[in-house]
Amino acid sequence: MLNFTHDPAAQSWVAAAQAPGSDFTLQNLPLGIIVRDGSDKHPRGGVAIGDQVVDLAHLAASGLLVGPAKAACCAAADATLNTFMAMGREGWQPLRHALFKLLSSTVDAATQEKVRACMLPLSETTMKMPVEVRNYTDFYTSRHHAVNVGRVIRPENPLTPNFQWLPIAYHGRASSVVLSGTGFRRPNGQSRTANNQPPAFGPSRRLDFELEMGFFVGPENMLGEPLSVSQARDRIFGMCLLNDWSARDHQFWEMDPLGPFLGKNFCTSISPWIVTMEALEPYRAAFDRPATEPQPLPYLDDATDRASGSIDVRLEVSVQSRRHRAQHLPGDRITATSFRHQYWTVAQMLAQHTVGGCNLQSGDLMGTGTISGPTPSEAGALVELSVGGTRPVSLPGTGETRTFLEDGDSVSIKGWCEKPGFARIGFGECRGEVLPAIDFGMA
């Protein structure tokens, strides 16, 4: 449902919010956890607007908010957003609506001054993890990705028979979810290059990124209490960008029969700002399941979700190598697509997660699975773009090529929503750099 916070004509008195290409417009208002550079090191919630951030701890104490908006602001001022997420829409909406009014250019000059006293430049803040991630589950919901990767692993039968019937997932590792900007070491592990030969141990030679989005659980459900698609939709707080780094050689050797383990558990990166589902509302689109495909079973089907379960988030990935940095080049874009192509919606994913009685916790992180669009150039991982490592991807800026990632490569995911008649909103960036492996001295 759209409301006054989606009005494309509304502007902020923070001028940079209206700058061309701005991610943090008045209609966005994403939340994150900030630390002020300098003496005051206490982490607290913040809301980005243009090139500024509203310090929610200062706003809560300012006297500018009353009632539910103030209660929500106090919760969001915490050192993580878990408590605020647990409040549900009754907390999320009053805070968004109050912030929208306070930051709108129609507010009086005296109020502007009071809000300005609660702000600081983004350039003077350090971002922290937005939530304490208690559980992390990663789905597998792009049909194009499943077919592309399936062709590499099982050429005779690329799409597994369950894919069209349920949103597949595995339980991932919460402890190694890190904030954008954190480097990680190339993982060591076992891989086998030839059938019927013993595996080798060493640094991954097929290190990959996975272009994904993440979404966060708000109010919890009790153990044994499944959520319908409609209930699940209301429990999702917001979304971020996510990179599910993957060691393909380790993964393909170890995952049969129990699924991903070391090939996935060494690092998962997320972007620092969480864009709320309310901000994403104008970019919802019909969930398309052609009549030629199996239709969702009744527990995964919902009229509202059919009408608006997909979300059109534009996504792109670029790689910056050491050579790019030496030449002061920004890196080369290697793929671009949209989240709207996923085979399952976020509400269906969450409903599936709980249908057997699994209880979710506030701040739980769900990965959508790799997001690959319908054409080869829209693939969301190098294993697809390089066709299993057989067709190198070019980095035109430096003349280099990649089949998989090399040490020093920095991978950047960007995401934004844009369409005529609505304000642009953006997610910022999710970036991470591959550092050399720990040397076991066994090479």
Q: State the catalytic residues.
A: 145
What phi and psi, each to the nearest 5 degrees, are found at residue 314? -80, 140
Binding status of residue 138 toward Ca ion by CB under 5 A: yes
> Among 24, 123, 35, which Cα is nearest to 80's?
35
Q: At 148, list the tokens.
A: 């592309």
In the chain, the largest separation of any two C-alpha atoms, in whole Å, equals 76
| Dihedral angle over CA of 179, 185, 190, 192, nearest 10 | 100
> Among 139, 130, 81, 369, which Cα is nearest to 271's?
130
Site for Ca ion in 81-100 (CB under 5 A): none
Q: Which residue is nearest to Ca ion (CB)?
A: 244
Between 55 and 210, CB nearer to Ca ion: 210
Nearest distance, CB of residue 367 and Ca ion, angstroms = 6
Nearest distance, CB of residue 321 and Ca ion, angstroms = 23
Contact 113, 76 (CB under 8 A): no
The gap between the terminal CA atoms of the chain, to the nearest Å, is 59
Residues 6+ apart with CB under 8 A from 430: 180, 240, 241, 242, 243, 269, 270, 271, 412, 413
Q: By CB under 5 A, how many residues form the interface with Ca ion?
A: 3
Between 22 and 251, CB nearer to Ca ion: 251
Site string for Ca ion, 98-137 (x = CB under 5 A): ----------------------------------------
Nearest distance, CB of residue 403 and Ca ion, angstroms = 19
Between 89 and 151, CB nearer to Ca ion: 151
Nearest distance, CB of residue 80 and Ca ion, angstroms = 24
Nearest distance, CB of residue 369 and Ca ion, angstroms = 5
Nearest distance, CB of residue 248 and Ca ion, angstroms = 12
Burial of 30 (0-12, 13-18, 19+ CB in 10 A): buried
Cα–Cα distance for residue pair 294/79, rounded to 1 Å: 45
Q: Is the peptide bond before 257 cis (omega within 30 degrees of 0)?
A: yes
Between 93 and 386, CB nearer to Ca ion: 386
What phi and psi, each to the nearest 5 degrees, are found at residue 70? -70, -45
Between 94 and 432, CB nearer to Ca ion: 432
Residues 36, 38, 40, 43, CA torsion sign = positive
Cα–Cα distance for residue pair 371/69, rounded to 1 Å: 35
Estimate the crossing angle of helix 89-103 against helix 67-76, to 10 degrees: 100
Between 221 and 268, CB nearer to Ca ion: 268
Cα–Cα distance for residue pair 345/350, rounded to 1 Å: 9
Between 244 and 364, CB nearer to Ca ion: 244
Between 138 and 249, CB nearer to Ca ion: 138
Site for Ca ion in 207-236 (CB under 5 A): 210
Nearest distance, CB of residue 139 and Ca ion, angstroms = 8
> Among 219, 204, 187, which Cα is nearest to 88's?
219
Site for Ca ion in 159-218 (CB under 5 A): 210
Contact 347, 229 (CB under 8 A): yes
Site for Ca ion in 360-379 (CB under 5 A): none
Nearest distance, CB of residue 119 and Ca ion, angstroms = 37
Site string for Ca ion, 239-278 (x = CB under 5 A): -----x----------------------------------
> Among 24, 28, 18, 12, which Cα is nearest to 278's?
28
Per CB under 5 A, residues contacting Ca ion are 138, 210, 244
